[in-house]
Copies of this chain bind each other. A is one copy, B any other.
Amino acid sequence: MKIIDKEILAIDTPRVMADYDIMLANIQMVHNHARRYMIDIKPHVKSHKCLDIARIQLDEGAIGLTAAKCDEAAVFFNGMCKSFTIAYPLVEHHKIQRILSSTKQFGLDMSLIVDSEEGFEAIALMAERQNVKVKIYLKIDVGLKRCGLPADDQRILKLSKKILEHKQLELTGLISHAGHVYRAKNIQEVIKIAQEELKILFSVRKLLLDFDIETRRISIGATPTLLTGIDLQGISEIRPGNYIFLDRLSWKLGLIAPEQIALTVMATVVSKNKSYFIVDAGSKVLSSDTGAHASKILEGYGLAYPAEKYLEEDYRMKITALSEEHGFVSRSGFDLPIGSRVRIIPNHACPVVNLTDSMVVHQKGMIKNVWKVHARGKVL
């Protein structure tokens, strides 16, 4: 069975495409896993930024949405759901003011995160001024060394107490992101990081319980750890983002088969030389990512196949370099005519979506729709 037919072969390139059926299967796979443990799903919208995909996630049982940026979240304050987490440390009055105004205006169930005294003080002040209830997750660093308090940091207890004592704030629980999992070399390392994450979070919960402080919820979120099918007992919520599309990175980590990758890019051979086919998708379409969180486990900038030979191993070509508007596809023993289409598996799906204004959604080889990337460019 050919995966694509002439309709998709004829689209103008470069074009970001999402396979509807694969995407739906990916969503259901992860949601079903969560359901087995009776835990909530609050997907991160950063990967799709698209109202249509959020709608599917909610229809498939998500209880709300997560975003990193206030402006990005605001695109989804349209009544489609009420529960939001801004999984990003807000530390400035004006940003908090804005998100809390929306919280009031739309009657949202809003969770924010705290990992510093400064963040706490800013949120506390603005919640008071606006007289609005805010749920607070303490952000715990589980190894990425980005945001979050290390498990042995005394501020965990101190901030927990302060949050508990504050009238407008509710200490909801602990939150983490094991982003360093994207630097793993194989599935064994992914599983180890996933287990370590839970161990750290449970130890912090126990520590707080020793001081009679209950952390009701534990929220984790990183697609690779979830794809290992890890035991999620004791977890309240997951916040995966990338799981809807998947990409070369999750394939390389051994977590998925390439047939599970929903996001690809169609491009055209516009020139060629002894070493390369030159295609019309460069870093302004594929991004220069060689992984996520500056992971460098991937060589090159994606995998390309002649579109009619998509996923046929003998026809796999590496994208060795990128200019802004050109991809250097290394030749692999066969020729391709100028003007022919290649289909590309990106290294990392999320920045690819962020670079386009819309995605072609296809199903069984037919173009089903064109979806806008509604929250693209909302960086504030």
Q: Which residues of A are interface residues toward B (Cβ below 8 A)?
A: 12-15, 46, 68-69, 88-92, 94-95, 115-116, 118-119, 122, 141, 145-148, 150, 179, 268-273, 275-276, 278, 280, 283-285, 287-290, 292-294, 301, 320-326, 328, 337-339, 350-351, 354-357, 377, 379-380
Number of copies: 2
Complex contact B351–A270 (CB within 8 A):
no
Complex contact B292–A289 (CB within 8 A):
no
> Which residues of chain B come closer than 8 Å to A350, judged between CB atoms?
324
> Which residues of chain B come closer than 8 Å to A379, judged between CB atoms?
14, 284-285, 356
Complex contact B271–A179 (CB within 8 A):
no
> Which residues of chain B come closer than 8 Å to A377, judged between CB atoms?
355-357
A351 touches which of B91, B122, B275, B288 (Cβ 8 Å)? B288
- Closest B residue to A270 using CB positions: B89
Given contacts A12-B94, A145-B275, A275-B145, contact A284 B351 (CB under 8 A): yes
Complex contact A270–B88 (CB within 8 A):
yes
A92 touches which of B268, B272, B324 (Cβ 8 Å)? B268
A88 touches which of B293, B325, B354 (Cβ 8 Å)? B325
Complex contact A338–B91 (CB within 8 A):
yes
Complex contact A328–B271 (CB within 8 A):
no
A289 CA to B286 CA in the complex, in Å?
Answer: 12
A288 touches which of B13, B273, B294 (Cβ 8 Å)? B294
> Which residues of chain B come closer than 8 Å to A46, judged between CB atoms?
324-325
A78 CA to B320 CA in the complex, in Å?
Answer: 38
A65 CA to B15 CA in the complex, in Å?
Answer: 25
